[in-house]
Structure 1
Amino acid sequence: MTNKGLSASDLTISRAEHVLLEGAELELAPSTITYLYGENGAGKTSLMRCLSGLLQADSGKIHWNGQLITSLDSDYFQDLIFLAHALSMKAELTIFENLSFYARLRGVKDPKPLIDKATTELGIGQLQNRRFAELSAGQQHKVALCRLVIEPAKIWILDEPFVNLDKGTRHWLAELIQQFARQGGTVLFTSHHEIEELAIDQRIGIEH
């Protein structure tokens, strides 16, 4: 199937009876990087959760490659990686055990080489056997970023992926995102500041 990207039409999202978005239209094409910006509370995270299937919209439709993401024929959730503020890791498991779990869910039979590569590039290779709960906040964030290396996907939805990263890791992530887009991937990310290292194709602003 030809990759047509992600689209949303007539999308309305509310929270606690407060309308965050009304009648929104969105087009995220393959091989593009989209920067989603807006003030805190404007609805950026709610929009991302809705696009990721974690939040039900009040109305509207979301399509991936021309099919509703809720269709039984859609491969959307197998094609998607959503990285949120909540890192979705098991505190009692090690780095290796957490990343192996996600990789095997995607059909990666031998995730060790990919985990070795990602953790080494991010400077946490020596911590693979450390429990997630024992890591610093910065190290935990790096573990979550490893998912972008070890899991096959076609679309990344990333909520504040650059927050609290050192300069070297920022450059690493920016290059990874651009490489993913060059290979046909679709990227949507939020940031409180525009990322100079990224060649952004589309900017979408959300206002209160």
Structure 2
Amino acid sequence: MVEALHDGLCVRDLACTRGGRRVFDGLSFDVAPGSVVQVRGANGSGKSSLLRLLCGLLPPAAGELQWRRLRVGARGAGLAAEIAYMGHAGGMSGDLTVLENLRFSLQVAGSASADAGCREVLQRLQLAGREDEPLRHLSQGQQRRLSLARVLLSGRALWLLDEPCAGLDAEGEASFDTCLAEHVHRGGMAVVTTHRDIGRDGPCAHTLDMNGLGHAGDRDPDHRP
């Protein structure tokens, strides 16, 4: 494998197999500090599987990863400790309040934050005044904002975000763009699957096209309509 020339993520000849089918193969790209990779492709091209593979939820069928110039091993512990992952499912309890969900998820991730910090981020994401409401009372877009709050408070260097703007209105999309730009300005990195062009008004994004990397007609098992 070619040695990485930066302290970010280096992906080489990555392949993913799900249910006995090859979802994609021969995938190579870099995520250098201060950059965003925007992942695009048709439904079933493997966008969600790629993020799950990068964060260690799936094993690669082939290929290698380097993180901060070191090869990522089978457990990927060094990389996993610096990842903030935002998938399709929120992974939160509808019976807990907004603030309780945020506290619990951050504690589980080892990124516990003071209530003052949590409230500040919730206010920034237009969730002020909803802290003590059960999660089930929130709209889909508001729950998506809460998932983004977890990412912001994680303090992790690499964000892996799967359709982060799904369900957001124009104001929510603008908030996301600002948060992403600030993260990158501080030297952070992100891999984002989205149908929006986040490179036009937000941080400069390198586009990764998943079409043609897999087999036509194969559906990505992790895709949710």
TM-score after normalising by structure 1: 0.90
Match of 1:4 in 2: 7
Instruction: Render the CA deviation track for 1:162-194: whole Å, top value 9, x for unaligned.
Output: 222111121111011011011110111011232
- Would you say the 8 A contact 1:43–1:206 is kept in 2? yes
Structure 2: segments with no counterpart, 5+ residues: 1-5, 213-225
Match of 1:33 in 2: 36
Match of 1:162 in 2: 165
Counterpart residue type for residue 200 of structure 1: C
C-alpha distance in 1, partners of 2:113/2:203?
A: 33
Match of 1:24 in 2: 27
1:24 Cα deviation from its structure 2 partner: 1.5
Map 1:37-186 onto structure 2 (within 5 A): 37-70=40-73, 74-105=77-108, 107-108=110-111, 110-186=113-189
Q: Residue 191 of structure 2: which of 188, 193, 204 is its match?
A: 188
Match of 2:207 in 1: 203
SS at match of 1:125: coil
> Which range moves more in the overlay, 104-113 or 154-163?
104-113
CA separation of 1:24 and 1:158: change in aligned 2, threshold 3 A: same
SS at match of 1:126: coil
C-alpha distance in 2, partners of 1:98/1:147?
A: 9
TM-score after normalising by structure 2: 0.84
- Would you say the 8 A contact 1:106–1:152 is kept in 2? no
Aligned Cα root-mean-square deviation (Å)? 2.1
How many pairs does the alignment contain? 207
> Which range moves more in the overlay, 9-18 or 71-80?
71-80
CA separation of 1:207 and 1:100: change in aligned 2, threshold 3 A: same
C-alpha distance in 1, partners of 2:196/2:107?
A: 34
Structure 1: segments with no counterpart, 5+ residues: none
Instruction: Give 4+ residue runs of structure 1 displaced > 4 Å after superposition.
Output: 71-74, 105-110
> Which range moves more in the overlay, 195-204 or 31-40?
195-204
Question: Matched residues, percent identical?
Answer: 25
Match of 1:13 in 2: 16
